[in-house]
Structure 1
Amino acid sequence: MSIKEIAKQVFEIESKEILNLSNLLTNDFEQAVQAVYDSKGKFIICGMGKSGLIGRKIAATFASTGTPSFFLHPGEAYHGDLGMIEKDDIVLLISNSGETDEVLKVIPFLKNQGNIIISMSGNPSSTLAKNTNYHLNIFVQKEACPLQLAPTSSTTASLVMGDALAVALMKLRDFKDKDFAQFHPGGSLGRRLLTKVKNVMKKNDLPICNEIENIKNIIHIITDGKCGLVVVVNNFEIIGIITDGDIRRAMESNENNFFSLQAKDLMSKNPKMINLNEKLTTASDLMNDNKVNSLLVVDDQSRLLGIVQMYDLGI
């Protein structure tokens, strides 16, 4: 079997196990989601070994999608970190066998404190499943590991079940891209949704001219302005825009009298404008909807303050 065929076999095995998860869903899934949604506390994920690594990712997904969450190592929990768990918190315990000693040791404390406990295991009859409020079945028939020893399909199933929980909660909360951006201000999405046009616009030495400017000067202004356009103004009022594309088209259609043309002969009226306080995502939508690469930035009185272009948006 070739290396590529081995990879394809792994994909096939794990994809089949993922698809089978839908057959294992019970009312516990819906009730668990509702419990987390109604909770006033945090959602704490706890698991050992590979389940713990998956748990860290699940906690990170929840934390970034509107559910306060963190990962708690069961060994550290049993040696002092249980104090991090408050009464209103809901705890998800992950163990594929459902018999992981370090995880089971946490249960008495949680029950005594009155925490809601959700478990995730591949055995609905396990000690873990029987001692929690809601159980999520992640049973897999076959690991992708040829020795059936290394957690492969089972860890993937755990991850997907965690994603299903997170997405269900996002739907219930009507979690939007702007909400996602609040938790990811450093990413490109966060930048577009949180940054305003005025923060990225070109505002110095703007390429402007009046309506009777001759074609030679217009070309120089466009070149020096480095925006590929010139804004035509009359007593500080924006009356049109000329792009380098307009210049090329004028050369083809007015070959004989090209150098006698003025700005008013070339300009497009009613150029697309945007208020300086709008978000970059609004600018992006406006450009895409109107199939333009530049917008004139104005204040509340429609006075020209700057120019914002597609590459300024960081898309």
Structure 2
Amino acid sequence: MNELREGPADFPPPPRPTAEEAAIATGRRVVETEAEALRVVAAAIGEAFAEVVALLAGIEGRVVVTGMGKSGHVARKIAATLASTGTPALYVHPAEASHGDLGMITGKDAVLALSNSGETAELRDLTLYTRRFHIPLVAMVGRPGSTLAEAADHTLLLP
């Protein structure tokens, strides 16, 4: 007579991936996640992006890129990439800008300010400086209606 057993079946557990297989799988997941993030950003590119490209291509001076914290790390990379591909650019730390580095920014430059919240206190003096001297200000923010977005001549809203 066949009796049904209660409890787990007597099947062996599935084989565990090797360290190499796990590393490969993790690497693929990371790249797939990053690729999806890039697709989202690509879909958000529109007219505002074209306006900023035209502005930055037409300035006589440099693209001054700034940001605090993680946005500062991204800003440094943007400045380095622009400079290495032929667009005069530099990074200015927003906290240092308030203590003498604002003089590095001229009326021929444009400022690209990065802040996810758009409320970074350290960007305040730099923002006021751009307004006072009529220096084009581009905000790259994650929040529409933020202080930085409202102060800027152009805003690139990140998804």
Give the TM-score normalised by the residue count of structure 2. Answer: 0.80
Structure 1 residues 82 and 20, CA, compared in 2 at 3 Å: closer, same or farther? same
Counterpart CA distance in 2 for 1:92 and 1:25 is 16
1:13 aligns with 2:43: no
* Superposition misfits of 4+ residues, deviation over 6 angstroms: none
1:206-225 matches, cutoff 5 A: none
C-alpha distance in structure 1 between counterparts of 2:37 and 2:124, whole Å: 26
Aligned ranges for residues 148-297 of structure 1 at < 5 Å?
A: none
Size of the aligned set, in residue pairs, is: 139
1:55 aligns with 2:70: no
The DSSP-based 3-state class of the residue aligned with 1:93 is strand
Question: Aligned residue for 2:7?
Answer: none
**Distance across 1 between alignment mates of 2:35 and 2:146:** 25
Instruction: Report the alpha carbon displacement of residue 26 of structure 1 after superposing the two structures with TM.
Output: 2.7
For 2:122, the equivalent position in structure 1 comes to 102
CA distance in 1, matches of 2:118, 2:104: 23
Please point out which of 92, 110, 114 is paired with 1:90. 110
5+ unaligned residues in a row in structure 1: which ranges?
140-315
Residue 138 of structure 1 and its aligned partner are, at CA, apart by 2.1
Query: Which of 138, 146, 162 in structure 1 is aligned with 2:158?
Result: 138
Q: CA RMSD in A?
A: 1.7
User: Are 1:34 and 2:58 counterparts?
Assistant: no
Residue 141 of structure 2 is aligned to residue 114 of structure 1: no
Long gaps (5+) in structure 2: 1-16
More relative contact order in 1 or in 2 (CA 8 Å, sep 6+)? Answer: 2
Aligned to 2:93: 73
- Distance in 2, Cα, partners of 1:94 & 1:122: 9
Q: Which residue of 2 aligns with 1:188?
A: none
Separation in structure 1 between the aligned mates of residue 128 and residue 145 of structure 2, nearest angstrom? 18
Instruction: Indicate conservation of the 8 Å contact 1:25/1:137, yes or no.
Output: no
Aligned to 1:105, the other structure's residue is in SS state: helix
Distance 1:19 1:137 in 2: 15
Percent identity of the aligned residues?
Answer: 38
**TM-fit CA distance, 1:4:** 3.9
Please give the alpha-carbon distance, in whole angstroms, between the structure 2 residues aligned to 1:39 and 1:66: 13
Once residues 105 and 14 of structure 1 are traced to their aligned partners in structure 2, the CA distance between those partners, rounded to angstroms, is 34
Please give the TM-score of this superposition, normalised by the length of structure 1: 0.42
Bigger Rg, structure 1 or 2? 1
Question: Deviation at 1:60?
Answer: 1.4
Q: Secondary structure at the match of 2:29?
A: helix
